[in-house]
């Protein structure tokens, strides 16, 4: 189920898998993943950032053409360095650019881990629904009634390196750390919705590509961890 279908169905309480992806870096890996999913008749939602590596019209329309939903992965407040008015202008302009290529119903904020601003804060002074958006993943979804898995931190129990993506979701009956654990969990009696968030650039079908991703992720995560620690020490709320 896509995020839009989940919302259109009134956030069902039964077992359903909602697959979503954050396209943070090279969109090529997202297109590969989108083709793979389409081969299995799976429809998911791709949240794409507005960066030179990710905002590529041909690839974005390919994602949509494969039957997936395209969402806008915004980071306006970090871009505007905390200026909310400017951030909203950026949001509107970038959303318009996405909508020239694909229909956009839902949005999700990029964590901007290296920035001091939380992108979600732009909605303190403005309503995303005024942009014809039906859901912001950070605000609209009732996480207390679903299982949430993210590959942030390169394992499924995340948390340690994840600065902003904290979600109060249901606790898994058994620890789910490796992909084999997740597969086992999905095959067991999960009786609630399951959200799975993956970053396509972290995945590869070649051992060499996987190693490159793993090493670069390792260093990025160490930097995030250091920033998180130094902010805690400085007493800044994350």
User: If DSSP codes are grouped into helix, strand and coil, which group holds residue 46?
Assistant: strand
Stretch that binds Zn ion, among 24-32, 94-102, 159-167, 188-196 (CB under 5 A): 24-32
- Tokens describing residue 201: 């650039």
* Cβ-closest position to Zn ion: 110
**Is residue 22 close enough to count as binding Zn ion by CB under 5 A?**
yes
**Contacts with Zn ion in 99-138 (CB under 5 A)?**
110
Of 15-23, 144-152, 163-171, 177-185: span binding Zn ion (CB under 5 A): 15-23
Residue 8, number of CB atoms within 10 A of its CB: 13
Neighbouring residues of 29: CB distance < 8 A, sequence distance ≥ 6: 200, 201, 203, 204
In the complex, minimum distance from the CB of residue 199 to Zn ion, in angstroms, rounded to a whole number: 7
Q: Any contact of residue 94 with Zn ion (CB under 5 A)?
A: no
194 neighbors 147 (Cβ within 8 angstroms): yes
Asked if 25 is part of the footprint of Zn ion (rule: CB under 5 A), the reply reads no
The only residue of 1, 21, 24, 195 in contact with Zn ion, by rule CB under 5 A:
24
Q: Residue 6 or residue 46: which is nearer to Zn ion going by CB?
A: 46
CB of 166 to Zn ion, least distance (A): 14
Q: Which region, judged by CB under 5 A, interacts with Zn ion, from 19-27, 174-182, 190-198, 208-216?
A: 19-27
Give the span between the Cα atoms of 102 and 80, in whole angstroms: 25
Partner residues linked to 17 by β-bridges: 194
| Backbone dihedral angles phi then psi of residue 73, each to the nearest 5 degrees | -100, 90
Helix axes 57-65, 27-39, angle to 10 degrees: 10
Identify the three-state secondary structure at position 86: helix
Tokens linked to 190: 């999960």
Q: Which is nearer to Zn ion, 155 or 197 (CB)?
A: 197
Distance of CA 40 to the CA centre of its chain: 21
Work out how close the CB of 109 gets to Zn ion at its nearest, in angstroms, rounded to a whole number. Answer: 8
**Binding residues for Zn ion, total number by CB under 5 A:** 3
Supply the minimum distance, in Å, between the C-beta of residue 76 and Zn ion. Answer: 13
Does position 224 interact with Zn ion (CB under 5 A)? The reply is: no
Which spans of this chain sit near Zn ion (rule: CB under 5 A)?
Answer: 22, 24, 110
């Amino acid at each position: 189920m896509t995020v839009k279908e989940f919302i259109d169905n009134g956030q069902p309480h039964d077992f359903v898998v909602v697959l979503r992806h954050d396209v943070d870096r090279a969109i090529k890996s997202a297109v590969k993943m989108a083709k793979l999913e389409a081969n299995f008749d799976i429809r998911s939602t791709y949240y794409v950032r507005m960066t030179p590596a990710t905002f590529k019209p041909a690839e974005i329309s390919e994602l949509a053409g494969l039957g997936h939903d395209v969402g806008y992965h915004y980071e306006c407040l970090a871009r505007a360095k905390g200026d909310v008015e400017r951030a909203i202008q950026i949001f509107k302009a970038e959303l318009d650019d996405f909508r020239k290529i694909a229909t956009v119903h839902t949005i999700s904020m990029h964590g901007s881990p290296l920035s001091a601003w939380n992108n979600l804060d732009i909605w303190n002074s403005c309503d995303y629904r005024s942009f014809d958006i039906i859901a912001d993943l950070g605000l609209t979804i009732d996480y207390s009634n679903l299982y949430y898995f993210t590959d942030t931190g390169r394992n499924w129990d995340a948390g340690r390196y994840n600065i902003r993506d904290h979600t109060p979701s249901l606790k898994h009956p058994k620890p789910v750390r490796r992909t084999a654990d997740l597969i086992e969990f999905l095959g067991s009696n999960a009786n609630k919705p399951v959200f799975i968030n993956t970053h396509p650039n972290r995945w590869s079908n070649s051992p060499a590509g996987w190693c490159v991703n793993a090493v670069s992720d390792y260093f990025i995560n160490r930097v995030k961890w250091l920033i998180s620690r130094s902010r805690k020490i400085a007493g800044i709320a994350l």
